[in-house]
Amino acid sequence: MNYPKLSPWPFIDPESPAEGYLKIGESTDRARSKTSKKVWNFFVHDGHLVANKKIQLPDRDDQTGRSAITQYEYPIGGVRWFVDTVERFFLPPDHPNAVPRGKLNMRGEVDGETLGVTRGAWFGGDYVPGYSFDNLNRYEHSTLLTRSRCQMFEMGDPWLFEDGLFELFKEIADRHERGEF
């Protein structure tokens, strides 16, 4: 199914975000940090959650100090939807709100944007299962390239459930619901 695409969000430098961006957390993807530290920064701006990672690129002839930014954007209300949807995957099969067995993704609309949660076998790296937080109205983009697929922020189970990323999403959802941003 095709979803209307929204204009790309401007890239932000997590080390010096533009005015109006509130940093609300960070988390390291340890499974993918074997060669460099993969720190994801989380910001709130204009009613959206912005997940952003900046990495240093290897030096090349006459090119040093280069970096790349990858970024995903979601309506801030979508964070609670993501948490609740992931938890539905763990409900007993006979629970009325459980994700039907065999179904690997769920879709929903939050604040005019179509979001998804997808279960994937390699979302945490080689042979590491996980989940992705999808925004079907936005193209995946980084400062290196733009792909024609939707945004899919892939997170491995260890990062989500052992290294605290899922708890960070819960905290962000709670803070939003308390009106902190």
Mind listing the domains of the chain with CATH numbers?
A: 22-178 (2.30.31)
What is the number of other CB atoms lying within 10 angstroms of the CB of residue 54? 19
Q: Is the pLDDT of residue 116 over 70?
A: yes
The pLDDT assigned to 61 comes to 66
For 34-43, write each residue's pLDDT tens digit.
766 789 999 9
Q: Is the pLDDT of residue 65 over 90?
A: no
- Residue 129's SS3 state is coil
The pLDDT assigned to 36 comes to 62
The pLDDT assigned to 62 comes to 65
- Cα 130–Cα 71–Cα 90 angle in degrees, nearest 5: 25
- Report how far residue 148's alpha carbon sits from residue 139's, in angstroms, rounded to the nearest whole number: 6
- Residue 29's SS3 state is coil
Q: Is the pLDDT of residue 12 over 70?
A: yes
Mean confidence (pLDDT) of the chain: 91
Q: Is the pLDDT of residue 114 over 70?
A: yes
CA atoms within 13 A on the CB side of 67: 16
Question: For residues 79 and 172, is the Cβ–Cβ distance under 8 A?
Answer: yes
- Report how far residue 89's alpha carbon sits from residue 119's, in angstroms, rounded to the nearest whole number: 9
Q: Is the pLDDT of residue 64 over 70?
A: no
Q: How far is CA 123 from CA 43, 129, 153, 167, 181, in A?
A: 23, 5, 9, 18, 30
For 153-166, write each residue's pLDDT tens digit.
999 999 999 999 99
pTM of whole model > 0.85? yes
Residue, of 80 and 58, whose pLDDT is higher: 80
